[in-house]
Amino acid sequence: MALIDTTITSAGGTAESPELSVVQDDPARFFEPERLDPALSTHLVAPDDALWDPAERFVYSVFRVSGFCEESPREWVEESEPWRPRSRLHVITEGDQQVVGVCRTIIGTYDELPVSQFRPTVPVPEGPLCEIGSLAVRPTQRGLGVANELHRIAFQMGIREGVKGFVFLIDQWMFDFFQSHYGLPVRALAPAREFMGGEVVPTAMWLPEMMHQLVRTRPNVYKWSVEGFEPQVYADLDLPIILD
């Protein structure tokens, strides 16, 4: 791939490093993520919030159709119970609080997260990570806007919390999609295996590599992912700045 210099700086004003050289000949370079319908609303939900139960029931209903969880009298995914007290739900609703999409975030060290059920075969950073899981979107929901926004707000929360990276338990097709379309530096933590009704790949991407690669290969994805960050966040985290 051809590498050339670009007008990218860090928030601290330092000169561009070689790692931020731009990849110009990738046909997907200017890929634009589909955005959330402005008629929909986003919520960060704690276990004591009124929206928690309908959100949990929504995830359960989607998972049950795909055989990803066992039956539950309260219609919650019981397999998530060990980590539920430390998790938050990111919920998207329409109209009168009708849930159309959910994902769960849990922050902790590797051994404190659901992904620890896979023994990593690659080095894992010390310190807090953010696991993103329980992704569920209304089957009739058109496009990728809801799923995109769920990931975006989960990424932003983790970045604000100062995590060292993100981990997921995802299907192979999603792993490939993250790489090919979004340009994310995902890596398999261990071989794929059967887990909760399907074969999943324990997946990770580390910071700041994730942000630097997006700047180089998917500038529109990068700008979308950090949209709404205050200048102080850029400075505190030394995030790259793209000068249009």
For every residue of the chain, DSSP letters joined together read --EE--SEEETT-PPPPGGG-EE---TTTT--PPPPPTTSEEEEE-TTSTTHHHHHHHHHHHHHHHT-S---TT-S-GGGGGGGGGEEEEEEEETTTEEEEEEEEEEE-GGGSGGGGS--SS---SS-EEEEEEEEE-TT--SSHHHHHHHHHHHHHHHHTT-SEEEEEE-HHHHHHHHHTT----EESS--EEETTEEEEEEEEETTHHHHHHHHH-HHHHHHHTTT--HHHHHHHT-EEE--
pLDDT attached to residue 165: 98
Omega within 30 of 0 (cis) for the link into 33: no
pLDDT for residue 5: 31
Q: What global pTM score does this model have?
A: 0.88
Token pair 């500038």 is found at: 219
Residue given tokens 């659901």 in the structure block = 114
The CB density around residue 230, as the number of other CB atoms within 10 Å, is: 9
Reading the chain (244 residues) residue by residue, the pLDDT tens digits are 222 233 444 454 443 444 455 556 677 899 999 999 999 999 999 999 999 999 999 999 999 998 999 999 999 999 999 999 999 999 999 998 999 999 999 999 999 999 999 999 999 999 999 999 999 999 888 788 999 999 999 999 999 999 999 999 999 999 999 999 999 999 999 999 999 888 999 999 999 999 999 999 999 999 999 999 999 988 988 888 887 6
Query: How many angstroms separate the CA atoms of 29 and 87, rounded?
Result: 34
Q: How far is CA 126 from CA 94, 106, 108, 164, 203, in A?
A: 39, 16, 10, 8, 16
CA distance 153 to 134: 14
**Residue 16 main-chain phi, psi, to 5 deg:** -65, 135
The fourth-level CATH superfamily of domain 31-207 is: Gcn5-related N-acetyltransferase (GNAT) (3.40.630.30)
Q: What is the pLDDT of residue 69?
A: 94
For residues 127 and 148, what is the distance between their CA atoms, to the nearest angstrom? 26
- Cα separation, 8 vs 194, whole angstroms: 42
The domain limits of the chain are: 31-207
> Measured between alpha carbons, how far is 172 from 193 in angstroms, rounded to an integer?
11
Residue 223, both tokens = 């700008």
Residue 95 structure tokens: 């109209």
Tokens of 117: 């059920």
pLDDT, residue 176, reads 96
